[in-house]
Structure 1
Amino acid sequence: MLKLKPLLSTFLKCEVGNGTVAAFWWDSWTTLGPLIDFVGTTGPRMLRLRLDARVADAVQLGNWRLPNARSDAVQALQIHLTTISPPQAGSGEDTYLWRLPSGIYSKNFSSKGTWEQLRVRSLPVSWAKTVWFTEEIPRASFILWLVILRRLPTRDRLLSWGMNVPEECPLCTSHQESHDHLFFECPLSQELWLFFASRISGQSQQPLLPSILDTILLPPISTSAHTTTLMRLLLQVTVYALWRERNARIFTTTNTPIHALKGVVDRTVRDRLLSFPSLDGTPSLLESYFACISYPL
């Protein structure tokens, strides 16, 4: 945030009324920006105005009151001030305005509009709609996003950073933990994923995250929209459940058996799908899910 501080003056502008609030040196109340930057640190001494002076302090008897120019910057400021009416006591309060994406300054602040102006917009990645979609679960989509970027603190990464940690996977204890192993080379994660994926989409081959993403992004022509949505939701819920179980086994004494993990995934998916009832008489997402899953699990 502190790195963005120099940009503040380009977003915040002061519309001078009576000049009793606007800071002469620090606020952007002219098109020259903050005058302390335009004139320099010697400005207060040359203009005989304190650093904490208000705009009204530069006015006397309704006119600008500034000493003779002693630098080109001060001369440029004085010329510019001739185009600005001095603040008057009856002109109302000073008003601070924020720049919108349209370039117009407004009394209303928009965090989204500000971010859109600050961010460097990149082209959408191919897997974006697999992570972020209407039926997503934010906490789960966030973890899936980190998995795709390979940014989770898996043990292989911790070891590469010089940390003294065990290398084995907490889920199977027989292989080194890594992103590829957890999602989904690990026998436990394979079993959990294939239990649901085979019933929803017929997927039965050894799952690897890149191939799963490709299948969801470019499903067979015969795949229904409901199946694609269920697979997207299932992927992030399964990834989230595995990462949570991994952490529980490391930091607590909890060791959830596979049949209980299946119940966790099933309950999470069902709870989310309850929010999307059928609107046109066709089967809802939850009904489509129930058509794939047999109980008890």
Structure 2
Amino acid sequence: MLQLKHMLPTFLKCEVRNGLDASFWWDSWTSLGPLMDFVGQSGPRMLRLRLDAKVGDAVRSGEWYLPNARSDRVQELQILLTATPPPEIARGADTYLWRNAAGNYAKKFSSRGTWEQLRTRSAQVPWSKIVWFREAIPRASFIMWLVCLGRLPTRDRLIGWGMTVPDLCPLCLAAAESHSHLFFSCTFSEALWQAFATPMCGQIAPSNLADIIPLFQLPLISSRSQVQVCMKLLLQVVSYSLWRERNARIFTAISTPLHALKRMVDRTLRDRLLSFPATDSHPSLLEFYFGCMSHPI
């Protein structure tokens, strides 16, 4: 936040009314921005106004009262003030305004609108809607985001950083651990994924993340909202569960059998889908899920 401090004057503006609260030197109350930045450190001495002076301190008998200009900057300020009505008590308290996403200043602050103005925009990635969607579980979305970025600290990455760790996948104990192996080339992770994805898709689903992401663009899924939501949620829950199981085996030496992990995934999906009731045009997501999973897990 401190690194963004220099941008504050472009977002926060003071609308001067009675001039009792607005700082003459530090608030952005004219189009010139904070006058301390515009005039410089010698400003208080040239204008005979203290550092803590309010805008109202520059007014005498209802008119602007400033000494003769001794620099071009001060002269520019005085020219501007000739077209600016001086503050009056009858106008009420000074008001602080925040710049919104449209570039206008308003009394309402929006963290979203501010972030949209601050952030660097990049091209939308093809997996964005697989990670962020209304029905997602936040903790699973975060792990899914790292999976898509390839940023989880898998053993191949740890070795690449110079750490001395075994490279064997703790889930299958048959191949080196990497993102592509863990999601879902590993026999253990593939079995967990296919147990749900195949009946939900109505066909054998891909077992490689690079092939799974384009799957959501196919009419089989993209044209059916319930299939799309359940499949996206499934992908996140399975990925989260696999990463959690992987960590448990490494750090606590406790292993959950595949059949037990399937039940955990099933329970998580049911609980989440239960929170979205049926509508007039669509049955509930949970009902759809039960229809896909005709055989018990």
Distance in 1 separating the partners of 2:113 and 2:205: 45
Q: CA deviation at 1:32?
A: 0.7
Provide the secondary structure at the position in 2 that maps to 1:264. Answer: helix
Instruction: Using structure 2 for the length normalisation, give the TM-score.
Output: 0.90
Q: Which residue of 1 aligns with 2:200?
A: 200
Q: Which residue of 2 aligns with 1:125?
A: 125
Q: CA deviation at 1:296?
A: 4.0
Q: Which residue of 2 aligns with 1:108?
A: 108
Q: CA deviation at 1:269?
A: 0.9
Q: CA deviation at 1:218?
A: 1.6
**Where does structure 1 lack aligned partners over 5 or more consecutive residues?**
none
Q: CA deviation at 1:219?
A: 4.4
Contact 1:127-1:217 within 8 A present in 2 as well:
no
Give 2:217's aligned amino acid.
L
Q: Which residue of 2 aligns with 1:17?
A: 17
**Where does structure 2 lack aligned partners over 5 or more consecutive residues?**
none
Give 1:9's aligned amino acid.
P
Contact 1:190-1:206 within 8 A present in 2 as well:
no
Contact 2:221-2:227 within 8 A present in 1 as well:
no
Q: CA deviation at 1:130?
A: 2.3
Distance in 2 separating the partners of 1:111 and 1:26: 23
Q: Which residue of 1 aligns with 2:80?
A: 80
- Equivalent positions of 1:8-157 (< 5 A) are 8-157=8-157
Deviations 1:88-125 (A, max 9, x none): 33432111111122332211111112122223333432
Contact 2:59-2:86 within 8 A present in 1 as well:
yes
Deviation larger for 101-110 or 186-195: 101-110
Contact 1:219-1:228 within 8 A present in 2 as well:
no
Deviations 1:160-206 (A, max 9, x none): 22334333322233332221111012221111111112222244366
Contact 2:215-2:221 within 8 A present in 1 as well:
no
Distance in 1 separating the partners of 2:205 and 2:224: 20
Q: 1:227 to 1:62 in 2, by over 3 A?
A: closer
Q: CA deviation at 1:45?
A: 2.1
Give 1:229's aligned amino acid.
V
Contact 2:18-2:90 within 8 A present in 1 as well:
yes
Deviation larger for 218-227 or 8-17: 218-227
How many residue pairs get aligned? The number is: 297
Instruction: Using structure 1 for the length normalisation, give the TM-score.
Output: 0.90
Distance in 1 separating the partners of 2:220 and 2:87: 70
Provide the secondary structure at the position in 2 that maps to 1:239. Answer: helix
Give the % identical residues: 63
Deviations 1:252-297 (A, max 9, x none): 3432111111011101111111123332375432222212324542
Q: Which residue of 2 aligns with 1:245?
A: 245
Provide the secondary structure at the position in 2 that maps to 1:217. Answer: coil
Deviation larger for 81-90 or 17-26: 81-90
Q: 1:227 to 1:105 in 2, by over 3 A?
A: closer
Q: CA deviation at 1:236?
A: 0.9
Distance in 1 separating the partners of 2:45 and 2:167: 65
Deviation larger for 52-61 or 239-248: 52-61
Contact 1:190-1:207 within 8 A present in 2 as well:
yes
Give 1:190's aligned amino acid.
E
Q: 1:91 to 1:259 in 2, by over 3 A?
A: same
CA RMSD of aligned residues (A): 2.3
Q: 1:30 to 1:133 in 2, by over 3 A?
A: same
Distance in 2 separating the partners of 1:281 and 1:123: 34
Distance in 1 separating the partners of 2:42 and 2:137: 56
Q: 1:239 to 1:221 in 2, by over 3 A?
A: closer
Q: Which residue of 1 aligns with 2:235?
A: 235
Provide the secondary structure at the position in 1 that maps to 2:229. Answer: helix
Q: Which residue of 2 aligns with 1:257?
A: 257
- Equivalent positions of 1:152-171 (< 5 A) are 152-171=152-171
Give 1:270's aligned amino acid.
R
